[in-house]
Amino acid sequence: MGVQEILTMIKYAHVQEWVDRMAAMCQPDSVYWCDGSEEEKRRLTAEALRSGEIMELNQTVLPGCYLHRTAANDVARTEHLTYICTSFQGDAGPTNNWMSPREGYRKAREYFSGAMKGRTMYVIPFAMGPIGSPFSKIGIELTDSIYVVLNMRIMTRMGESVLDALGPKGEFTQCLHSKADLDVNRRLILHFPEDNAIWSVGSGYGGNVLLGKKCLALRIATVQAQREKWLAEHMLILGIEEPVGRVQYIAAAFPSACGKTNLAMLLPPEGLKMKGYRIWTVGDDIAWMKVDTDGRLWAVNPEMGYFGVVPGTNSKTNFNAMATITHDTIYTNVALKPDGTVWWEGHDDPPPAEALDWQGKPWSPKAVGKDGKPLMAAHPNSRFTAPFTNCPTHSFRYEHHHGVPISAIIFGGRRATLAPLVYEALNWEHGVYMGASMASERTAAQVGAVGEVRRDPMAMLPFCGYNMADYFGHWLDMGTRIRRPPKIFHVNWFRTDEKGKFLWPGFGENLRILEWILARQRDEVGGLETPIGIVPNPKDIDMSGLDLPAETMNQLLAIHPKDWLAEIDAVGQFFETFGTRMPEELWQQNEALRRRVLAAAK
Ligand code: OXD
Ligand code: MN
C-alpha cells in the first residue's frame, strides 16, 4: 500500500470502516475507489465494453454514446419492492411500503451476502447539489455495476473532490447497491431514514440503482428537509428570460407522462419567439428549495444530468432534448439500427426496415407478438442519461451555491374534464391543498378505465420518504417561514372536448400560460375570481401566432360545479386515508372550497 493510500485511509477512516463492513458482507474480489477523472472514465468504459455491459454506438453520428440493455424483468422502478424502514410504521405512512429496520437489514443481508463474489466493488463518492453549497448533501454509493458508475458520473458530481468536501468526520448517506443475480424475487429497494442509509439489491434499472436520484434526493432528502426546514421536491426548474433581460424562475411538479422534461426544455413557439423570449433549463426532475436571508424561496437542481424517457422524443415534442442526446449519452433499452445508431417509437425518422429491439432480438415494423399486437422496438420506459450541459438551454446558474429565486410554483395534472387550463391559488394554504389533492386521469392510451383518477400529491406519491400527512403539514409550516412566498398555480394541458380531442396544443405553446403566471406574480394583470381560484381573463393571454377559437378558450377555462362537488368528495376520501394525522387546515380548505362551489352554483 502506497503512502497516499495510507493517508487517504486515515483521513476517511469513517468511510473506510463502513466500506470494509459492506465488503465483508458482499465479498467482492476487489474494491476500487472512483476518483472521477477522465482517465478513469476511459478505462471503465473500455472494461464495460469488454464485458458487454455496454455497446458502442456509431461514434461518427453519436460520439461518446453507448447502449445498455437491462434484463427483461428489470425495466422500471419497482414500487412494490420499495420500502421505507422506520421504527414506527406510522412514520412511513399509508402511502409507503413499510418494514422495520431490523427486518429490512435482515432480509437484505441475506441477498447481499456474497453477492459480489467474482466482481469489483466500486466506491462512488458523490454530491447532490453544488459542492460546498449549503444545499448540497454527500452520498457514497457502493456498487458492483460499471453501468451504475458511468451513469453516476453523468447524473452527479462525483469523485475525489467530493471526499475532500466530506472531510474526516463529514456525514454522508450510505448507499449500497448490488445487482446480485437480478432476480425479481430477491429484489429490494430499502430506505433507512433513521440511519441515513439506502440498500438496493437485485436490480440494474436506473431508478432503483442510481441511488443519488429518487432514493437520496427525494425519499431520504424529504426526511432531512422536514427536519432542517426546507423542501425536497419532484419538480423541474425553469428560467424564463423576457426580451428586457429579466429572468424569473418557476418550479413545477407533474406526475409521470405529463411532459415535465418537455416543459423544462421548452422551445418558445414562433409567435412568441418574435417577442424575444428565452428559456433556461435549471432542472428537469428534482428541486431542493430553501428560504434565503431575503425571505424568498431559492432552489437548486441537485442533479448534473438527465435520466429521461426516450419514446415520443422527437424534434417537435422536444427539440432541445434531441440536441441533448446526440453525444456523450448512455441509451438504455432503445432499438439498435444496423448502422450503429438508435431508434425508438415516436422518433423523427420512420421505422427502420430492420433493427435489434431493446432486448437485442431481430425486429421489423411488421413484427407482432403472440397476441397479434405490434412489437415495440424500444421499451416504453427506455431512457437516455445525458450530461446537464449537453442541453442547449441549460442555465449557467446550475453551479450557483444559493440557487435561483423561485417566483411561482406550479402543480399539474392530467384531467380530461375537471381542471381548467390554469388557475391560481388564493393563498399559500390553498396552494398546498391544490398540491395535496393533485391527480391524473387515465387516458385511452393507458390500461384501466378511462377517467379513473390516481391521486399523486405534489407528484410525490412514490417519492415521499415519510408520512405524507406530515409532509403536507411541513408544506403548511414552510408557508409561515417564507416572507415573500411564490404564488402557487395549477395547470392542466390535457383538457379534452366531448370527442376526447385535446383542446390545448401544449408543448411550446405552454409558454403563453407561463407568461400569464409571471404577470400575475408581478401583479401586472387582473384575473377572474372563481370558486376554485383565479383564472385568466382570456384577453390577458397572448395568442399571437396561435389560431385558437374563442369558444375553445372558454371551454379550457370553464368550471363545472357538479364535477367539482364530486371531486371535493373524492379528495375527502383520499384525505381520510391519513386518519387523524391529516392537517386540519387541509380539511378546512376542502370544506371552504365546497362552500364556495355550492354558493356559485345557486
Ligand atoms: C423518473 C420518474 O424517472 O419520475 O423521473 O419516474
Ligand atoms: Mn421523476
DSSP secondary structure, 209-259, as one string: H-TIIIIIIIIIHHHHHHHHT-EEES-EEEEEE-TTS-EEEEEEE--TTS-
pLDDT class for 448, splitting at 50, 70, 90?
low
* pLDDT on residue 112: 98
CA 562 / ligand 2 centre spacing (Å):
33
What is the pTM for the complete model shown?
0.96
What confidence category does residue 205 fall into, taking pLDDT thresholds of 50, 70 and 90? very high
Q: What is the average per-residue pLDDT within 303-313?
A: 96
What residues sit around ligand 2, an ion, with C-beta below 5 angstroms? Answer: 285
Average pLDDT over residues 124-145: 97
pLDDT of 4 strictly over 70: no
207 in contact with ligand 1, CB cutoff 6 A: yes
Q: How far is the CA of 285 from the centre of ligand 2 (A)?
A: 5
Would you give the DSSP letter of residue 53? S
Report the atom number in ligand 1 closest to the C-alpha of 213: 5
3-state helix/strand/coil string of 354-390: CEECCCCCEECCCCECCCCCECCCCCCCCEEEEEHHH
Q: Mean pLDDT, to the nearest integer, of 315-331? A: 97
Say yes or no to pLDDT of 5 above 80. Answer: no
Mean pLDDT of 507-515: 94
Task: Please tell me the number of the ligand nearest to residue 306's CA.
Answer: 1
Share of the chain above pLDDT 70, in %: 97
Q: What are phi and psi of 249, to 5 degrees?
A: -115, 145
| Residue 416 CB burial class (10 angstroms; 0-12, 13-18, ≥19) | buried
From ligand 1's centre to the CA of 145, what distance in Å? 21
Measured from the CB, is residue 555 less than 6 Å from ligand 1? no
Q: Which of 175, 258, 391, 464 is catalytic?
A: 258
The ligand that comes nearest to the alpha carbon of residue 308 is: 1
pLDDT reported for residue 168: 85
pLDDT value at 2 more than 80 = no
Of ligand 1's listed atoms, the one at least distance from the Cα of 309 is 3
Work out the mean pLDDT of the chain and round it to a whole number: 94
Whose grid coordinates read 437489514? 105
CB 11 within 8 Å of CB 168: yes
Note whether 395 and 320 are within 8 A (CB).
no
The question of whether 258 is a catalytic residue gets the answer: yes
Rounded CA separation 304/38 (Å): 16
The pLDDT value recorded for residue 76 is 86
Expressed in angstroms and rounded, the spacing between residue 463 Cα and the centre of ligand 2 is 9
Distance CA 490, CA 477 (A): 20
Tell the residue nearest (CA) to atom 3 of ligand 1: 207
- With a cut of 90, say whether residue 429 has pLDDT above it: yes
Mutate to test the pocket of ligand 1, among 258, 285, 464 (most ligand atoms within 8 A of CB): 285
Q: How many residues does the chain have?
A: 602
Which tens digits make up the pLDDT trace of 208-257? 999 999 999 999 999 999 999 999 999 999 999 988 899 999 999 998 77
Please, which pLDDT band fits residue 577 given cuts at 50, 70 and 90?
very high
**pLDDT at residue 443, rounded to an integer:** 54
Outline where 492-583 has alpha helix (H). 511-521, 550-557, 561-576
DSSP reduced 3-state for 34: coil
> Would you say the CB of residue 417 lies under 6 angstroms from ligand 1?
no
**Nearest ligand to the C-alpha of residue 307?**
1
The finding on whether 256 has its CB within 6 A of some atom of ligand 1 is yes
Atom 6 of ligand 1: nearest residue by CA position: 256
Task: Determine whether the shortest distance from the Cβ of 567 to ligand 1 is under 6 A.
Answer: no
Please tell me the distance from the alpha carbon of residue 443 to that of residue 446, in angstroms, as a whole number.
Answer: 6
Confidence of residue 444 (pLDDT cuts 50, 70, 90): low
Query: Is the CB of 76 within 6 Å of ligand 1?
Result: no
Ligand 1 and 285: CB distance under 6 A:
yes
Residue-level pLDDT at 272: 81
Choose one of 214, 307, 309 to mutate for the ligand 1 pocket test, by most ligand atoms within 8 angstroms of C-beta: 214
Residue ID of nearest Cα to ligand 1 atom 4: 256
What's the CA gap between 30 and 32, in Å, rounded?
Answer: 7
C-alpha span between 312 and 11 (Å, rounded): 48
d(CA 539, CA 347): 37
How many A from CA of 208 to the centre of ligand 2?
12
Q: How far is the CA of 485 from the centre of ligand 2 (A)?
A: 25
pLDDT bucket at 8, cuts 50 / 70 / 90: low
Ligand 1 pocket, residue 283 CB under 6 Å: no
Which residues have CB under 8 Å from 244's CB, separation 6+?
Answer: none
